[in-house]
Structure 1
Amino acid sequence: MSTITKAIPQRSPQEIIDLRRRHLNPSLSMSYQQPVKMVRGRGAYLYDQDGQAYLDMVNNVCHVGHCHPSVVAAGQAQMAELNTNTRYLHDNIVEYARRLSATFPEELSVVFLTNSGTEANDLALRLARTYSQAHDIIVVDHAYHGNSPTMIELSPYKFDGKGGQGRPAHIQVAEIPDDYRGRFRRGEADVGPRYAQDLHRAIAAIHARGEKPAAFFCESILGCGGQVVLPDHYLKEAYATARAAGAVCVADEVQVGFGRAGTHFWAFETQAVVPDIVTMGKPICNGHPMGAVVTRPEIAQAFMNGMEYFNTFAGNPVSCAMGLAVLDVIEQEQLQNNALQVGNAILHGLVELQKEFDMIGDVRGMGLFIGVEMVKDRHSLEPATEAANAVIEYLKAHHILLSTDGPYDNVLKLKPPIVFSMDNAEEFLRCLRDALRSIA
């Protein structure tokens, strides 16, 4: 049986903007002062309707490159064969669970599949509360863990931001361990453990409510907090404190997992810890909607309380086929090592630019997850928010896509596909120098 599908009209950017405003969620934002219509992607590049290439330095979803042929082919082949749910037996889901768990420390061996990082964090919350038989949660300031109602409650980035309703009573917010502008600074002794001490305050506040902590959620490298690399030993001390109070430790790897950190496949490994639960999403399937939770067997077993966890689409054969292809590509193309080598080259180049431009207050990062904090004054650390956004617009005008983040929106965030090359890095550094000169 053949069918004829209607062709989708090719509209101008302004026509699309007008239709978005008429028919789409009005809170849905668009990037840049003049939004771009993208029609194609390949590797580290996106292409607009005129065929103009843009170097993509902000898309950590298409982890192994836009439209990677192996990932696309895996999805196409499986979609043409079968797509169904996990109530039927299928090789793909067990093979994916086996391959994914093999990347973790042996204590973490049970896999739950979801459709997104939000769902993964939401499920991690349920697991933690069921296992600990407690309710209250500790999170890190300015964290973002997802867009569901329960994850908004766990995300200071949202509940303390525009439209937010403030911190819920059952959430305690630990101090952000920012060793650039926080209370304890890089180069001082025991910075990580000193920041981790704030969990004692959070736990005391929970006990004062007559409650117990169920979980401590922390990104392995802080994203919305401003691309902040955790100080040495922070997680070791924070996890010990949380566990002593009966809490489960959750590592949110939604942005930084799958080799992006360069030195390790999972960023929590850089802190020499083993979490109780790890969540992931974004890069797991290179743009196809998928997420996962990996946990200890005893936590998974405690979840067997009679209420089945079934998710209609999670773990379907197509998603698993594409997830397996992503793992294959990372290994075969040695992309974790690429993230390390290219990331180090970018960090070195940024440090050199820092010597030339006083408005670069801090350069930090790991692998291909890097932050450049812009300041008006290196002593007062007054944020240079306008300058940071001017750099973003300059780069976009010169066909490089970047964005800002952090509590003051003054941190250039670099998180490109991990196929990003040395040539790409050199192109970015040249253009960034020009951008800084233009606004100096």
Structure 2
Amino acid sequence: MRNEINIGLLGFGVVGSGVAKILQDHQEDLHHKLGVPVKIKKVLVKNLHKNRETTLSLETFTDNLYEVLEDSSIDLIVEVMGGTFDAKEAIESSLRAGKGVVTANKDVMAEFGPGLLKLADENKCDLFYEASVGGGIPLIRTLEDGLASDRIRALTGIVNGTTNFILTKMKHEKMSYEDALAEATALGFAEADPSADVDGIDAARKMVILASLSFSTEVRLGDVFVRGMKEIQEGDLELAEQFGYTVKLAGSAKKNEDGIEVAVEPVFFPNSHPLASVNNEFNAVYIYGDAVGETMFYGPGAGSMPTATSVTGDIIAACRNLLLGVNGKRLHAPQYERKVKSDSNKFARYFHRIRVRDEVGVLTKLTSIYSKHGASLATVVQHSDKKAADADLIFITHQISRQQHLDIVNELNETPKVIGVLSHYRVEGEE
């Protein structure tokens, strides 16, 4: 019978210090829930001499990973050090040492998750990663347990708080992209190098994790179609509003008999859609299941304490398994073979904004291109200035395949009298 559970904490940054604070401040609650105290035995840091606001003793800190891994009294490793390859090696070493792992590392789980989960199974260890997606929103646990009896057909969501904050400021306060990004950086929502966020890579990694769990299959980062928010052109947000839509950088994943499709891109959501009203740094994921129907999970997608709360929830789950002697009993092998749809089997509506020479016959020529590719149009609007030689044509299609959409855009760009397709978006939530 264990008298206590000792933790080795790898990393003491924003999240790591938050985890330590929760474990220390809530010790009485944790003891009541588990029946034993949970203590931080060792903390791995890069700089032992850095000043830290903590009640942990100086002897708790070390800059030697193996001092943590080889301590036989440590029962559980919590990886919140960030990065990719060093963190991956630390998780692998922990699992091989027979120690369960809790991680918040989306980069590692998106790129190496299947191999790490297999390693955990082989070594009869737990590997929990709730905090890798959605900050304080319990998405992973919901998919693994709460909706385990259902078949998830699709999910779509806002899974990056930085881009959602920027788009909120651009829409509601008419900020430029540059000014909104600067404010996000000043508030700590954006990194000094925001490219992973604004280019959609961060959201793509999270969608890999969610899609793999939802569809019980292996999804790879290369399977995700990615377009970042830099594709949003001046005037697009105002146009979306005129047509009753809101632009969000969203992730989506769908599965049917043809396979899976996963994407991250700027999307037009009808203003009536629940995700259209998710603002600032908040995240939300909309899930469609055969039995449950439609559900949405909403909350803070980042930040020290929300993320630390998810990490601590995993710590409690891992501790319970240790106390019951059932750690490492959950198998993680995918149920279904990986099968990815081609662009010809991915269907949606599309918004096209096309700049043309304002001349007779141009509209007829353009609509003939859509007809040639088997696409019908739900909306046709011309925006022009009597003093200008150019005009913008706005087309919204009925459902077409992504391949049809790409072929149409390519042909439009090669057509005389067409200056260019200024922007294009998938339209969500209709048909």
Shorter-chain TM-score range = under 0.3
For normalisation by structure 2, the TM-score amounts to 0.22
- Considering fraction of residues, name the structure with more strand: 2
For normalisation by structure 1, the TM-score amounts to 0.22
Choose 1 or 2 for highest CA Rg: 2
